[in-house]
Chains A and B, each alone.
Chain A
Amino acid sequence: MPPDLPRSAHHPDRPDLPASPARPRSRTHLFVAFTLLALQGFGGVLPVVQREMVERRRWMTQEEFVEEWAVAQTMPGPNVVNLSLVIGNRCFGLSGALAALAGMLLIPSLVVLALATVYALFASDPRVAGALRGMAAVTAGMIVATGVKLAATLRRHPLALAVTATLALLAIVALAVLRLPMLPVLLVLGGTGCVLTYRKLEP
């Protein structure tokens, strides 16, 4: 970070981390920034969040981004939306969190509904229906690919790969093959993963 930039003191609990040089001017600024950011994210907003928040606007350092992302990913809720809540909350408290959340969801949801309405006008055209069928197949593949990419992180997991792979495979069999409800699967397999990991970690 260039030394002539003003340093904001919004990270008082972590003096070892450089504070972000910039921050949003107002709640409106937050709202507009997150609206523009969300509207750029075709097929996933995460890369856009990182580029906008860290590299372009510099509201967060890379270290802060990684830390907050770990929490956003672990907690229930859409990851990028969770991240926007954290950023807004840190800048302006609850109202900032709500401004960021509204930016993420309000205009983009109107765009999605408009697209769906336009699609409905042409849904009887077999080419349009076919196009959407083809896109749905790509989307399904994209989600599988995301899961497979994340599976590579299991190699660095505290548990042996045989154990984590078995848990992941059991989840796939339970949810995709047997079509069991998610809550019991989450409690049993997620709980097992947490307990085994806890016993493996250094106290």
Chain B
Amino acid sequence: MSAGAHIVLTWHDWIDLFAHYLVLSLMSVGGAISTTGEMHRYLVEQHGWMTQQQFADAIAIAQAAPGPNVLFVALLGWTVGLNAGSHVAAVLGVLVTMTGIMLPSSVLMLLATDWGHRNRELRAVRAFKQGMAPLVIGMLISTGIVLAGANGDAAREWPLYVVSTLAALILWRTRIHLLWLLAAGAAAGALGLV
């Protein structure tokens, strides 16, 4: 990751981090990626546990790598730990954030899946499934917008917004494989175009 903040984490901070991810887990309807805005607010803006650049790097590396999108959470925990000074802390960061983001939602999923399957014709179940849809969509689009503002300096970063907008338009209208777009974005960045 890029050079980041040097921070000191107390046990209280670790517990706070864990508790925050437990709550985020329950809020992550639509996937962990839809709570990215909240993670950014908490990790970067409120606590300064990592820089904006590190946050954006973590998301980009996780997206470029194989595996479920939720692994960006492991990378955020890793980064916080590294900023706190050691690889031991980094491993702790991975365990704390990943356990936090997975535990409540997984338990809830296992408990609810049988019940929901048996009762899927219930009016309340259908109302919940369909009623959440506008919010889930709004959350996803907000996440993309928050991430597009890489350093918050729109005047200098406008080529990045152009890339984001182009990528969104191409993915929306075509069935091109994401790897080609990531490769194109990487090439444009490596050549200093963005």
Query: Within the complex, what minimum Cβ distance (angstroms) separates A10 from chain B?
Result: 13
User: Which among B1, B106, B142, B190 is the interface contact of A77 at CB below 8 angstroms?
Assistant: B106
With A139-B59, A143-B143, A181-B38 given, is the CB distance from A168 to B135 under 8 Å? yes
Find out whether the CB atom of B185 lies under 8 angstroms from the CB atom of A138.
yes
With A85-B110, A109-B94, A147-B140 given, is the CB distance from A135 to B63 under 8 Å? yes
Find out whether the CB atom of B167 lies under 8 angstroms from the CB atom of A137.
yes
A109 to B141, CA, bound (A): 26
A59 to B4, CA, bound (A): 45
Find out whether the CB atom of B38 lies under 8 angstroms from the CB atom of A182.
yes
Can you list 15 residue pairs at the A/B interface with Cβ under 8 Å?
A71-B109, A75-B112, A78-B69, A89-B110, A101-B102, A109-B98, A115-B61, A131-B189, A140-B147, A141-B165, A141-B171, A151-B141, A165-B134, A176-B37, A194-B127
User: Which among A82, A123, A170 is the interface contact of B138 at CB below 8 angstroms?
Assistant: A170
A174 to B146, CA, bound (A): 12
Interface residues on chain B, size class:
35 or more
Task: Annotate A25-46 by CB proximity to B: 1 below 8 A, 0 otherwise.
Answer: 0000000000000111111110
Find out whether the CB atom of A143 lies under 8 angstroms from the CB atom of B116.
no
Nearest residue (CB) in B for A40 is: B66
Find out whether the CB atom of B68 lies under 8 angstroms from the CB atom of A41.
yes
Find out whether the CB atom of B132 lies under 8 angstroms from the CB atom of A190.
yes
CB-defined contacts of B124 to chain A, threshold 8 Å: 198
A9 at the interface (CB under 8 A from B): no
B181 at the interface (CB under 8 A from A): yes
A41 to B69, CA, bound (A): 9
Query: Within the complex, what minimum Cβ distance (angstroms) separates B75 from chain A?
Result: 6
Find out whether the CB atom of B68 lies under 8 angstroms from the CB atom of A201.
no
CB-defined contacts of B118 to chain A, threshold 8 Å: 13
CB-defined contacts of A203 to chain B, threshold 8 Å: 123
Task: Annotate B33-76 by CB proximity to A: 1 below 8 A, 0 otherwise.
Answer: 10101100100010000000000111111111111111100110
Query: Within the complex, what minimum Cβ distance (angstroms) separates B23 from chain A?
Result: 7
The DSSP consensus for interface residues of chain A is helix
Find out whether the CB atom of A176 lies under 8 angstroms from the CB atom of B145.
yes
A45 to B120, CA, bound (A): 26
B186 at the interface (CB under 8 A from A): yes
Task: Annotate A101-130 by CB proximity to B: 1 below 8 A, 0 otherwise.
Answer: 100110011011101100110010011111
User: Which among A82, A112, A135, A163 is the interface contact of B182 at CB below 8 angstroms?
Assistant: A135
With A112-B71, A137-B163, A171-B135 given, is the CB distance from A176 to B142 under 8 Å? yes
A60 at the interface (CB under 8 A from B): no
CB-defined contacts of A147 to chain B, threshold 8 Å: 137-141, 143-144
A137 to B57, CA, bound (A): 10
B83 at the interface (CB under 8 A from A): no
Find out whether the CB atom of B148 lies under 8 angstroms from the CB atom of A116.
no
CB-defined contacts of B192 to chain A, threshold 8 Å: 126-127, 130
Find out whether the CB atom of A139 lies under 8 angstroms from the CB atom of B63.
yes
CB-defined contacts of A68 to chain B, threshold 8 Å: 113
Scan residues 116-165 of chain B and give those whose CB is less than 8 A from a CB of chain A. Answer: 116-118, 120, 123-124, 126-148, 150, 160-161, 163-165
Find out whether the CB atom of B1 lies under 8 angstroms from the CB atom of A157.
no
Query: Within the complex, what minimum Cβ distance (angstroms) separates B94 from chain A?
Result: 7
Find out whether the CB atom of B189 lies under 8 angstroms from the CB atom of A101.
no
